[in-house]
Chain A
């Protein structure tokens, strides 16, 4: 990767940290982007041989098919607990999970909160697209008010279901977590035809690496990626990027919520 005045090049092509298998992710989905950002970070840090990926349940359940590292499957929502078991036994390992918003913020919120509160030196990447992707478009704890999903056919009514939960803000209220950040990942159209704003990927690449660095420094790191799910949002890819920017990013504005070790400044 080259980082010159805002220009950032993500290496394409094979990497030892990628299996080379084509992903099952839908066209336009940020999971594929994040997979590569993780693979690049692991490769550049030279940590593949001491990395363990914990598969969560959701679209990232097949992450081990693409990331060429040791991996273990976790029950739905329990990845932070499984990671804790691994890391406590082997503090020298780099342990991380990619979780969805249903996995981490709904069924697995307890495991996430307690791992964060203990300051477990592990890394959680949260892909927040405001909906259950793999399960088929049901309401998630992060679904914006009014959004139509398979289980909120008339739009999410927060008087009935409660308001969206902001996981980054929540985790930042605890003393222990060392790095909590929210990044807007989708590429977005620009006024110029055929030109897209990929600032999210640049910010994402930096944040993934910073999250791993924080873990290596002994801290709990959490990066939330505001993402899209054009298939379950029932939108074109382009429309989904606009919706993410105009609606989801308003509910979940990007920001740095915690950086105890100051890795963002280095």
Chain B
């Protein structure tokens, strides 16, 4: 049970956020540091406060879980799975199928350290995997990056809206830090979401029937399907870029960071502003589509310096470089292994850039 105002871990907040949007089904396999999501949902399963929540099932594997999600999604259900790095890798075949079959679903990846078994600390090393497709066959996901516990609670509603609007999987890419971080939050008032599911496979009514398939053996037919998916994502690119700007209006240097790094950068911006440095922060909320429109606008305004702060060895920086098109200096501050930079390190880095 939660109250409208509560003090929760990010993972717990995400679970309650999903329930409050009318989540129908959860299929998952436990993996640290995401397990509070299934644990919270298991506790709330059967709670009359969430009448839409019809199915909670722990699968025998990450692979079984994502395929159960596919089945439920094919019936038009609001369905989700949660996992972390190694499990996210195992789910990629299923996500590729879901993308090809245009099935709405929510997959949460609580990014831990990697590659391989890595460790349980926070990283943003799954950025490429989440934003560039991740599985086989060439497709894209919509990827959302919360940066606070309140956003962990509010993003499932956004995720399902986008998933059903564009009929595609949506990934919430968060990290071990935000998943385990406890913060005060107010749950937003979200009406239980209802979407068009007239395409679902729930039995043929009359002569018409629905076939949901990613297979198009005829070459021109698959070509047409792929063109359709491409134009869909071009539309997503145009209409769904989301980001938050913090003190960027007069900034000479703009920090670019998402998730927990954005919180650290926000602190650094405050310190630098007190010292008279004109610095701001662009926080991508959608990592895919990447908010390149904002970055291009900064360059056109004359911003010459950007600093990308991320918990990997250089992933989002490539999208920043693409968006700025070589017309500005793009520095980077990177941490991996589960470590995070301190705000003072970010301050120091920016001071080096403006000196």
Contacts and interface: CB of A to CB of B under 8 A. Distances in A.
B212 A89 contact: no
Contacts of B55: 88-89
A70 B211 contact: yes
Contacts of B101: 72-73
A106 interface: no
Contacts of B210: 70-71
A90 interface: yes
B25 A81 contact: no
Contacts of A86: 71-72, 74-75, 201
B345 to A, nearest CB: 44
B6 to A, nearest CB: 29
Contacts of B24: 89
B346 interface: no
Interface stretch (A48-56, A166-174, A206-214, A227-235): A48-56
Interface stretch (A61-69, A141-149, A181-189): A61-69
B130 to A, nearest CB: 19
Given A69-B209, A70-B209, A85-B27, A75 B67 contact: yes
A123 interface: no
Interface string A36-55: 00000000000011111011
B203 interface: yes
A73 B100 CA distance: 10
B18 interface: no
Interface residue range, chain A: 20 to 34
**Counting chain A CB atoms within 10 Å of each CB, which of B65, B69, B211 scores highest?**
B211
B212 A73 contact: yes
A110 to B, nearest CB: 6
Contacts of A74: 67, 70, 97
B211 A82 contact: no
Contacts of A51: 203-204
A49 B213 contact: no
Contacts of A78: 63-64, 67, 70, 94
A93 interface: yes
A69 B77 CA distance: 20
A203 interface: no
Given A48-B204, A70-B202, A85 B211 contact: no
Nearest to B200: A70
A61 B205 CA distance: 23
Given A51-B203, A90-B202, A93-B203, A68 B209 contact: yes
B60 A72 contact: no
Contact of B25 (A49, A82, A89): A89
A48 B24 CA distance: 25
A84 B94 CA distance: 15
Nearest to A71: B211
A55 B101 CA distance: 13
Contact of A54 (B25, B71, B79, B203): B71
A111 interface: yes
Contacts of A64: 211, 213
Interface string A104-138: 00000011001000000000000000000000000
Given A49-B205, A81-B67, A89-B24, A73 B213 contact: yes
A114 B60 contact: yes
Interface string B182-214: 000000000000000000011111100111111
Nearest to A95: B71
B203 A52 contact: yes
Contacts of B25: 85, 88-89
B22 to A, nearest CB: 13
Interface string B93-129: 1100100010000000000000000000000000000
Contacts of B236: none
Contacts of A68: 204, 209
A83 interface: yes
Given A85-B27, A89-B77, A72 B71 contact: yes
21 contacts: A68-B204, A69-B204, A69-B209, A70-B202, A71-B213, A73-B214, A78-B63, A78-B94, A81-B63, A81-B70, A83-B71, A85-B67, A88-B55, A88-B71, A89-B24, A89-B71, A110-B60, A111-B60, A111-B63, A114-B59, A114-B60
